[in-house]
Amino acid sequence: MINQYLLAFALSLSCIAASAQGFLRGVVIDKTTGEGVPLATVRVAGTSLSTSTTSDGTFRIQPVKDTVTIVVQALGFYDQRVKVRLGDEPVIRLKLACNIDQFSRAYIEFLLSSGVRNTPLGCQLSFSRPLGFAIDRTFAYPAVRMTLAYQAGRRNRYLNPTFHIDELVSSCGLDVDAEFQYQRIKLASRPFDFERRSAGFNVSLRNAWPIWLAVGRSRMEQQEFGRFYTGVEIGSEQSWRLGQRRYLQLQGRAGWWQTHWQWQGKLSTAFGWRYPAAVVYQQIGSQYREVVLQVGVKWDYRTQPKRE
């Protein structure tokens, strides 16, 4: 009887081992930074079997042969073919083909804001969510991003809701973002009231600085509101990596609204992705100047894709 139990136990272990050996596990990383590459496609050559890497670049797939060739494809990287055997745990290092500016992450960001001159108390809340589809592997995931900024002080008011579509078009050679913005600034400490509505696109070509172009209407009165004036905005931005989890971004815009100029600048960074900080400067004509300091926290709520 004891021998029968031992035999059954041994058979169970062998079945478990055989089941575990049927899967091929590995990780896909960026050859330059060593970070995992999420959402890379891992396909068994000559078959329809495929899977996607998780947020840390790991994958698991069950091929039908002991020795197979897998094809790894990821946005912004060169394709790679690797011959592997069951039981191996390959580390696949992808070479960067082009830099794609992707903000397609599901996150919530909260910033405390303090204006030095007019609006000392305020905050900014941002919500971003990818739309969840891609045309093919050469295009990034578009994302919807909504931002609401509000500041106040001594009956002064600043309101700035913005709606973004990040990565509306995104490939190795072209990146287009869209933005729709409303802005209202009202000062009770002196007669000043400003309102602006604008819509524009941020266009990036490969190996060139991005260009921001927008059209809109604004009105500004020092006593009471008058008519809206049509105008245009132009600007640019640039980012620099400061290690694997830090960056520095500089943004500048200038708007001409027929009766006045509007100047905007922003220097932002993040510590470990989770803790953003920024310094914002804004000037409207000669009547309004403000420097805003921002610091906050960001939560990434994206769920990891299922393993196959």
Pairing of strands 24-30, 91-94: parallel
Among candidate residues 239, 254, 237, the one with its CA nearest the CA of residue 198 = 254
0.95 surpassed by pTM: no
Q: Return the minimum-mean-pLDDT range out of 5-19, 232-246, 271-285.
A: 5-19
Q: Which range, 95-99, 153-157, 228-232, is most confident?
A: 228-232
- Given a contact cutoff of 8 angstroms between Cβ atoms, the answer to whether 42 and 72 are in contact is yes
Q: Which helix (H) or strand (E) holds 53?
A: none
Share of the chain above pLDDT 70, in %: 81
10, pLDDT greater than 70:
no
Q: Is pLDDT at 103 greater than 90 in this prediction?
A: no
Which carries the bigger pLDDT value, residue 206 or residue 27? 27
**Range name among 108-117, 218-227, 260-269 with the lowest pLDDT average:** 218-227
How high is the pLDDT of residue 104?
Answer: 55
Structure token pair of residue 22? 């049927």
Measured distance CA(153)–CA(156) in Å, rounded: 5
Asked if residue 7 has pLDDT above 60, the reply is: no
pLDDT value of residue 245: 66
Rg of the Cα atoms in the chain? 26
Domain 2-94 carries which CATH code?
2.60.40.1120
Name the CATH superfamily, with its identifier, for domain 107-300.
monomeric porin ompg (2.40.160.40)
Checking if the pLDDT of 11 tops 70, the result is no
Q: Is 272 left (phi over 0), alpha (psi -120 to 50) or beta?
A: left
Q: Which contacts (CB < 8 Å, 24+ apart) does range 249-257 have?
A: 253/212, 255/196, 255/198, 255/214, 255/216, 255/218, 255/231, 256/231, 256/232, 257/196, 257/217, 257/218, 257/220, 257/229, 257/230, 257/231
In DSSP notation, 215-234 reads EEEEEEESSS----EEEEEE
Say whether pLDDT at 73 is over 70: yes
Average pLDDT over the chain, rounded to an integer:
82
Decide which of 304 and 143 is more confident.
143
Confidence band (pLDDT; 50, 70, 90) for 106? confident
**Pairwise pLDDT comparison (291 vs 20), residue with the higher score:** 291
Whether the pLDDT of residue 3 is over 50: the answer is no
pLDDT in tens, 232-255: 999 999 888 776 667 889 999 999
Residue 123, exposed/middle/buried by CB under 10 A (0-12, 13-18, 19+)? middle
Nearest C-alpha neighbor of 277 from the set 114, 35, 144: 114
* Closest listed residue to residue 172, CA positions, set 131, 136, 205: 205
pLDDT(223) > 60: no
Helix (H) or strand (E) run with residue 291 in it: strand 288-300
Mean pLDDT of 151-162: 92
Query: What pairing do the DSSP bridges indicate for beta strands 41-44 and 261-271?
Result: unpaired
Work out the angle at residue 35's Cα, subtended by the Cα atoms of residues 138 and 142, and round it to the nearest 5 degrees. 35
Domain residue extents for the chain: 2-94, 107-300
261 touches 229 (CB < 8 A): no
Res. 74: pLDDT tops 50: yes
Q: Is the pLDDT of residue 215 over 70?
A: yes
Q: How would residue 191 be classed by pLDDT, with cut points 50, 70 and 90?
A: confident
Compare 105 and 228 and report the one with higher pLDDT: 228
Report, as an integer, the average pLDDT of 71-80: 87
Q: Which of 56-60, 136-140, 242-246 has the lowest mean pLDDT?
A: 136-140
Q: Which helix (H) or strand (E) holds 208?
A: none
Q: Which pLDDT belongs to residue 99?
A: 55
Q: What is the share, in percent, of the chain residues with pLDDT greater than 90?
A: 45
pLDDT given for residue 78 in this prediction: 86
Alpha helices in the chain (DSSP H): 2-21
- Most confident stretch, 44-53, 249-258, 265-274: 249-258
Of 22, 49, 20, 54, the residue nearest 36 (C-alpha):
54
